[in-house]
Structure 1
Amino acid sequence: MYNEQFRQQFHFSPKENWMNDPNGLVYYKGEYHLFYQYHPHSSVWGPMHWGHAISKNLLHWEELPIALYPDELGQIFSGSAVIDKQNTSGLRTSDQEDVMVAIYTHHGEDNEKQSIAYSNDRGRTWTKYQGNPVIENPGIKDFRDPKVFWHERSQKWIMSLACGDQIQFYRSPNLIDWTFLSTFGSEYGAHGGVWECPDLIQLEVEREQDKKWVLIVSMNPGGPNGGSAIQYFIGDFDGTTFTCDDEKDTVKWADFGRDFYAAVTWSNVSEPVWIGWMSNWQYANQVPTNPFRSVMSIPRKLKLRRQNNELKLVQNSIDLSSLYKETIRLNDNLALLPLEPKQIELKDLQVMVEAKVKENNSSSLTLTLKGEREQLQVVFDRVKQEIRVDRTKSGNVSFSEHFASMDQMLLEELKDFKLIVDTSSIELFVNQGSSVMTELFYPSEQTYTLEWAATDGEVHLSNVSIHHIESTWK
Structure 2
Amino acid sequence: MTDAAPPPDRPVCHFTPPVGWMNDPNGLVHHAGEWHLYYQHHPDSLVWGPMHWGHAVSRDLLTWEHLPIALAPDEHGTIFSGSAVVDRDGVAGYGPGAMLAFYTYHRERDQGQGLAVSLDAGRTWTKHAGNPILLPPAGDVDFRDPRVLRYQDPAGPVWWVMVVAAGRVLRFYRSDDLLVWTPTGTFADPAGDDLAVLETPELFELPIDDGAERAWVLAFGQTTGGPQGGSGARYVVGGFDGERFTPSDGDAEVRWADHGADFYAAQSWTDSPDGRRIWVAWMNNWAYAERTPATTWRGVLSIPRELGLARDTVGQLRLTQRPVDELTRAQQPLLDLREPDLETAQQQLARVRGAGLDVTLEVEFASEGEGHLELAVHHGPAGATRVGYDPVSGEVVVDRSGSGGALDPVAPSGALDPVAPGGALDPVAPGRHRSPPLGRRAAVELRVLVDTTSIEVFADGGAVVLSVLAFPLPGATGLHLDVEGARIARLAVAAVTAGG
**TM-score normalised to structure 2 length:** 0.88
On the 8 A contact 1:192/1:219 being kept in 2, the answer is: no
C-alpha distance in structure 2 between counterparts of 1:255 and 1:286, whole Å? 22
Number of the residue aligned with 2:146: 146
Match of 1:334, SS? coil
Relative contact order, higher structure (CA 8 A, sep 6+) = 2
Deviations 1:205-225, CA, capped at 9 Å, x for gaps: 015321001100110111111
Match of 1:346, SS? coil
Shift of 1:44: 0.6
Number of the residue aligned with 2:471: 442
C-alpha distance in structure 2 between counterparts of 1:163 and 1:334, whole Å? 54
C-alpha distance in structure 2 between counterparts of 1:85 and 1:188, whole Å? 39
Number of the residue aligned with 2:354: 348
Number of the residue aligned with 1:399: 408
Number of the residue aligned with 1:297: 302
Match of 2:286, SS? coil
Shift of 1:249: 7.4
Number of the residue aligned with 2:131: 132
Number of the residue aligned with 1:469: 496
Number of the residue aligned with 2:30: 27
Q: Out of 288, 306, 321, which is 2:311 matched to?
A: 306
Counterpart of 2:334, as a letter, is I
Matched, 1:65 2:68: yes
On the 8 A contact 1:341/1:451 being kept in 2, the answer is: no
Number of the residue aligned with 2:399: 390
Deviations 1:362-386, CA, capped at 9 Å, x for gaps: 4321111221122111120000111
Shift of 1:448: 3.8
On the 8 A contact 1:336/1:342 being kept in 2, the answer is: no
Matched, 1:76 2:79: yes
Matched, 1:103 2:102: yes
Judging changes above 3 Å, is the alpha-carbon distance between structure 1 residues 52 and 398 closer, same or farther for their aligned structure 2 residues?
A: closer
Deviations 1:100-134, CA, capped at 9 Å, x for gaps: 00011001121110110000000011000000111
On the 8 A contact 1:80/1:148 being kept in 2, the answer is: yes
Matched, 1:184 2:210: no
Matched, 1:157 2:164: no
C-alpha distance in structure 1 between counterparts of 2:341 and 2:194, whole Å? 45
Deviations 1:21-50, CA, capped at 9 Å, x for gaps: 000000001000000000011011000000
C-alpha distance in structure 2 between counterparts of 1:190 and 1:72, whole Å? 34
Counterpart of 1:156, as a letter, is W
Matched, 1:333 2:336: no
Q: Out of 311, 315, 320, which is 2:321 matched to?
A: 315
C-alpha distance in structure 1 between counterparts of 2:271 and 2:179, whole Å? 20
Shift of 1:226: 0.8
C-alpha distance in structure 2 between counterparts of 1:393 and 1:430, whole Å? 22
Shift of 1:399: 2.1
Number of the residue aligned with 1:114: 113
Indicate the larger mover: 246-255 or 122-131: 246-255
Judging changes above 3 Å, is the alpha-carbon distance between structure 1 residues 297 and 246 closer, same or farther for their aligned structure 2 residues?
A: farther
On the 8 A contact 2:16/2:300 being kept in 1, the answer is: yes
The count of residues paired between Structure 1 and Structure 2 equals 462
On the 8 A contact 2:189/2:254 being kept in 1, the answer is: no
Judging changes above 3 Å, is the alpha-carbon distance between structure 1 residues 191 and 267 closer, same or farther for their aligned structure 2 residues?
A: farther
Match of 1:395, SS? coil
Number of the residue aligned with 1:460: 487
Counterpart of 2:401, as a letter, is T
C-alpha distance in structure 1 between counterparts of 2:487 and 2:202, whole Å? 40
Match of 1:225, SS? coil
Number of the residue aligned with 1:242: 245
Match of 1:432, SS? helix
The sequence identity of aligned pairs, in percent, is 39
C-alpha distance in structure 2 between counterparts of 1:289 and 1:471, whole Å? 22
Judging changes above 3 Å, is the alpha-carbon distance between structure 1 residues 447 and 238 closer, same or farther for their aligned structure 2 residues?
A: closer
On the 8 A contact 2:210/2:308 being kept in 1, the answer is: no
Q: Unmatched 5+ residue regions in structure 2? A: 1-5, 410-424
Q: Out of 200, 212, 217, which is 2:215 matched to?
A: 212
On the 8 A contact 1:191/1:222 being kept in 2, the answer is: no
On the 8 A contact 1:342/1:453 being kept in 2, the answer is: no
Deviations 1:263-307, CA, capped at 9 Å, x for gaps: 111011121100101111111111102111001111000010000
C-alpha distance in structure 1 between counterparts of 2:394 and 2:254, whole Å? 19
Shift of 1:322: 2.7
Q: Out of 4, 7, 10, which is 2:13 matched to?
A: 10
5 Å matches for 1:190-205? 190-205=193-208
Number of the residue aligned with 1:286: 291
On the 8 A contact 1:189/1:249 being kept in 2, the answer is: no
- Note the aligned Cα RMSD (angstroms): 2.0
Shift of 1:189: 4.6
Counterpart of 1:140, as a letter, is D
